[in-house]
Structure 1
Amino acid sequence: MTVPAKLFQQWLTAVAGGTSHAAVCRAAGIKRSTLAQQLVRGRVSLGTVAAVSRSLDLPVVQSLATFPAFADLPQGIKAPGQAELLSQISDVDLLTEILNRNLASEQGRSPDPVTLTPAPHRSSVRSWIDAIDATDLRQKLARQAAIAPQNLSAQISANRLNPELAIESARIGQVGLTNGLVATGFLTPLEAGWDPEARAAALRATPHSVLASLAAQRLEAMSRILRRVEDDSQDAQSVWENLG
């Protein structure tokens, strides 16, 4: 997703004054050539807007809201639900919590708290989509975004989802509009308006049986991915053997 270059330049002038593009790029950690190419093409990426905002200590969501396509983002901020919060806890952290609880139960004590790794994790996009998908979110998203279902599935499987699709997914799922941007790594949980302790609190509040069921689902999904990778590797090896 992009924003018009003209609007970007107007915004940049408003927030950075007469600062040169070279100085802006250095502060934002982006290549000068990258910004120049985007301006020439007439479209500037949301990643560029976010990087410049962070370099100027501006709220990313508020910066995006200055562009018409994202004007409703601030009003669309909602606290994530329990399922969304759990979706942004990595497989390793989830399993560690289960093991800690089991060990604590055997020893008759309280479980050790898990220090959560930062969001997103290796399957955060798929986990978030699954958390908000009541029935046919993927099909609705593909239709509304005019994207082939297989292309959408490929993005989700690769743990990628462009900001436009993440926001549209949130609209369809009727959750906070910035929540999907956390799952994709475009925003940090704090930038999206999440309570810093929300994920840890959700993990502690979830019954052991629910965590075990969730872990089983995650492991099954991982197993399918690993099987595909192994099959592809075997097929490639067979081709090389036949060629040899």
Structure 2
Amino acid sequence: MTVPAKLFQQWLRTVAGDTSQAAVCRSAGIKRSTLAQQLVRGRVSVATVAAVSRALNLPVVASLSTFPLFTDLATGIKAPTQAELLSQISDYDLLQEILNRQTQVEGALAPKPALLTSVPHRSSVRAWLDAVDVGELRQRVARDADMAPQNFSAQISANRLSAELAVATARIANVGLTNGLVATGFLSPTEAGWAPDARELALRQTANSALASLAAQRLEILGRLMRRNEDDRAAVQSIWENLG
């Protein structure tokens, strides 16, 4: 996903003042040649905008909102739903929470505080899409983006989703426009406007039965992926054996 180079340069002059592009690139961890190539092509990646914003201590969402495709991003911030928050908790953390609760019941121990791994996790995009799906969500997003469904599925399988598609999906699902950007790792929960410890609170508030059901769903999906990978490896091995 990109923004027009001309608009990027106008924005950079506004926020960086007299600071040279070279200095900005050093601070943002961007190669000068990379930015130069983007400017020559007339399109600058949103990742570059985000990196420069962080380097200048500017809110990333506010910076993106200055560009046409993201004008409603800042005003479209909404607190994530319970389902969205749980979607950004890894399979390991869900299972660990179930084990902790069972251990506490059996041993009459005090509850342990939830110590969650950072987002995104290895299936965060798929989990977020499942959490916000309002019915045929994937098909609607692919159709609106004029994208082949298999290409959209490939992004999901790779745990990737472009910023444009993440925001478009949030619009269709009527959830906070920055929430999908957390699932992709483009924004941190704090940058997206999520309350501190929101995931931990959502986990604590989830009933045992609901937590077990969610973990079972995740494990079923994981099992299917593992079987597919095993079948693929077996097919490759068979080809090599036939080749001699």
Category of TM-score, reference length = shorter chain: over 0.9
Q: How many residues align?
A: 244
Cα distance in 1 between the residues matched to 2:223 and 2:111: 28
Cα distance in 1 between the residues matched to 2:26 and 2:8: 17
Cα distance in 1 between the residues matched to 2:50 and 2:155: 21
The match for 1:130 is 130
The match for 2:89 is 89
Q: Which consecutive residues of structure 2, in runs of 5 or more, have no partner in the other structure?
A: none
What SS class does the counterpart of residue 75 from structure 2 fall into?
helix
**Cα shift at 1:107:** 1.0
Cα distance in 2 between the residues matched to 1:103 and 1:15: 53
After TM superposition, where is structure 1 displaced by more than 2 Å over at least 4 residues in a row?
none
Cα distance in 2 between the residues matched to 1:15 and 1:198: 31
What are the Cα deviations for residues 151-174 of structure 1, in whole angstroms up to 9, with x where unaligned? 101101110000000000000100
Aligned residue type for 2:116: L
What SS class does the counterpart of residue 164 from structure 2 fall into?
helix
The match for 1:115 is 115
Cα distance in 1 between the residues matched to 2:155 and 2:33: 27
Say whether residues 1:80 and 2:80 are aligned partners: yes
Say whether residues 1:210 and 2:191 are aligned partners: no
Aligned residue type for 1:27: S
CA contact (8 A) 1:54 1:60 kept: yes
Q: Which consecutive residues of structure 1, in runs of 5 or more, have no partner in the other structure?
A: none
Cα distance in 2 between the residues matched to 1:12 and 1:138: 35
Cα distance in 2 between the residues matched to 1:206 and 1:173: 22
For 1:51-200, what aligned pairs fall within 5 Å after superposition? 51-200=51-200
| CA root-mean-square deviation | 0.8
Aligned residue type for 1:179: N
**Cα shift at 1:109:** 2.7
Cα distance in 2 between the residues matched to 1:159 and 1:62: 26
**Cα shift at 1:18:** 2.2
The match for 2:40 is 40
Aligned residue type for 2:72: D
What are the Cα deviations for residues 173-225 of structure 1, in whole angstroms up to 9, with x where unaligned? 00000000000000000000000111000000000000000000101111111
Kindly, what percent of the aligned residue pairs are identical?
71
Cα distance in 2 between the residues matched to 1:54 and 1:153: 31
Cα distance in 1 between the residues matched to 2:208 and 2:82: 14
Aligned residue type for 2:90: S
Cα distance in 1 between the residues matched to 2:109 and 2:135: 40
Cα distance in 1 between the residues matched to 2:100 and 2:127: 22
For 1:1-40, what aligned pairs fall within 5 Å after superposition? 1-40=1-40
CA contact (8 A) 1:97 1:113 kept: no
What SS class does the counterpart of residue 44 from structure 1 fall into?
strand
Cα distance in 2 between the residues matched to 1:239 and 1:33: 43
CA contact (8 A) 1:82 1:202 kept: yes
What SS class does the counterpart of residue 3 from structure 1 fall into?
strand
Cα distance in 1 between the residues matched to 2:110 and 2:166: 38
Aligned residue type for 2:202: A
CA contact (8 A) 1:96 1:114 kept: no
Cα distance in 2 between the residues matched to 1:110 and 1:131: 31
